[in-house]
Amino acid sequence: MDKLIVQGRKRLVGEVSISGAKNAAVAVIPAAVMAEGVSTLENLPYIEDVRSLCHTIEKLGGTCEYIDRHTLRIDCDGGIDHRATFEEVQKIRASYYFLGALLARYKKAEVAMPGGCNFGTRPIDLHLKGFRALGATVEERDGMVHAYAERLIGTSIYMDQVSVGATINIMLAATMAEGTTTIENAAKEPHVVDTANYLNMMGANIKGAGTDVIRIKGVEKLHGAQYAIIPDQIEAGTYMIAAAITGGDVLVKNIIPKHMDSLTAKLDEMNVTIEEHDDSIRVTANRPLHCANVKTMSYPGFPTDLQPQIAALLSVCQGNSMITENVWDNRYQYMDELRKMGAKVTIEGRLARIEGVERLKAACVNATDLRAGAAMILAALAAEGESVIGGVKYIDRGYEDVEHKFNTLGAQITRIQE
Ligand code: UD1
């Protein structure tokens, strides 16, 4: 298991270029298996989750070839197996998108129950309810989801809860259903829009992605397409918060500033200077940071996937801050690790109260999940002394070249392999 050794008290200065969005990539890659034809996907992040999905496609009988580090050529033209039942599938949660994609193309799919980061119960009942509404029979047995249908028929689906995964998965399945499907109370995240845009390039007819009502007019088949994935909102946010926590001055490049609105507003409130350009944001922190209250919500609210990182920042801001986690039941496991570094935090259910301390101190900590791992790096960068971060495999799932990118900004992070 790799570890990161992080020297603290390093001010980050310079420019960092953001990779393609993990959460868009992990939806668009499974969507590519729906095409009779070849897709070329560009601006993909070079991360573990993408490589895992490629292995899955190859095991299903398709080809998935790297043209360069960020471009994949996916060919499932000749047909692939509808059963993704092997162990690898369980490693990443987004494997559930193979359900919607295979169901759309073959009207049958068998996919092992998804794994992924553990922050509370992560049911997929809304996905399955949506498939059933489209006419599929869905059974869960032996750790597997089996879905099949004679015909998929468009219908109106109201989501009981806003769910990114269920919105995308139902959209995938409905793309080749007969007639029109309407998804109400749909998730509005940028990666929902990105997946819809890619499907439309493949010949789908999807309107309204990015609003809470998505209309999908079923088409008979899809063809391959060339498509570039959007920049990663969460990676961008992580580097913006890194600039703030180290009192730095960083230009975060190759992003869509609009996607960062909830974070830029919060950082501004905290006395961080934000300068927005067309496709970059400069973050400068040279004044005392104020405490703030943060409530996570679905897009365009403050993303839960930046909650651990902002908690690290709030732990060194003057005054008392409060976080309300509204999306996941159990996303504060990492707080024990932050406490090891001197953070003063108390948790009551969904609330975290953070009393700002002047300085964090280095410690040996663990990444308990992907974004928690990012928060550990940020806390370690700000802390006094040398920290050791374990569980780096989680960080590698979603951050490309993590130590290299930070080191280019003046951090001193080394990876050791054990
Ligand atoms: C996606 C992101 C994840 C992020 C989350 C919320 C990907 C690959 N992952 O996860 O990083 O933290 O959105 O922004 O895009 N729920 C149900 N039943 C379901 C599905 C969800 O009750 O069938 C609940 C969940 O328990 C959770 C909430 O809905 O409380 C939101 O989950 P959802 O938006 O589905 O998250 P994911 O798509 O899994």
Q: Which atom of ligand 1 is nearest to the CA of 328?
A: 30
CA–CA distance, 274 with 269 (Å, rounded to integer): 10
Q: Which helix (DSSP H) or strand (DSSP E) does residue 5 occupy?
A: strand 3-7
Query: Do residues 29 and 382 make contact, with C-beta atoms less than 8 angstroms apart?
Result: no
pTM: 0.97
Is residue 65 lining ligand 1, measured as CB closer than 6 Å? no
* 8 Å CB contact between 14 and 250: yes
pLDDT per residue over 292-310, tens digit each?
999 999 999 999 999 999 9
Q: Is 117 a catalytic residue?
A: yes
DSSP line for 307-357: HHHHHHHHTTSBSEEEEE--S-SS--TTHHHHHHTT-EEEEETTEEEEE--
Q: Is any ligand 1 atom within 6 A of the Cβ of residue 21?
A: no
State the distance from the centre of ligand 1 to the C-alpha of 42, rounded, in angstroms. Answer: 25
Average pLDDT over residues 407-416: 98
CB of residue 24 inside a 6 A radius of ligand 1? no
- At residue 91, does pLDDT exceed 90? no
Pairing assessment for the beta strands 280-284 and 273-276 based on DSSP bridges: antiparallel
Question: Strand, coil or helix: what is 96?
Answer: helix
Q: Confidence band (pLDDT; 50, 70, 90) for 121?
A: low
Letter string b/e over residues 383-399, b meaning 16 or more CB atoms within 10 A of that residue's CB: beeebbbbbbebbbbbb
Query: Would you state the pLDDT for residue 122?
Result: 72
pLDDT for 278:
97
Counting from 1 in the atom list of ligand 1, the atom nearest the Cα of 22 is: 8
- pLDDT tier for residue 120 given thresholds of 50, 70 and 90: low
Taking residues 92-106, what's their average pLDDT?
Answer: 95
Q: Is the CB of 99 under 6 A from ligand 1?
A: no
pLDDT at 127 over 60: yes
User: For residue 118, is pLDDT > 60?
Assistant: no
Whether the pLDDT of residue 40 is over 80: the answer is yes
For ligand 1, whether the C-beta of 371 sits within 6 Å is no
Out of 54, 64, 76, 117, which one is annotated catalytic? 117
- Model confidence over 43-90: pLDDT tens digits? 999 999 999 999 999 999 999 999 999 999 999 998 899 998 877 788
Cis peptide before 300 (omega within 30 of 0): yes
Kindly tell me if the per-residue pLDDT of 119 is higher than 60. Answer: no
CA of 304 to the centre of ligand 1 (A): 10
**Number of residues that make up the chain:** 418
Cα dihedral across residues 13, 15, 20, 21: positive or negative: positive
Atom of ligand 1 nearest to the CA of 120: 26
* d(C-alpha 307, C-alpha 207), whole Å: 31
Going by CA atoms, what residue is nearest to atom 13 of ligand 1?
164
> What does the block give as tokens for 219?
């088409």
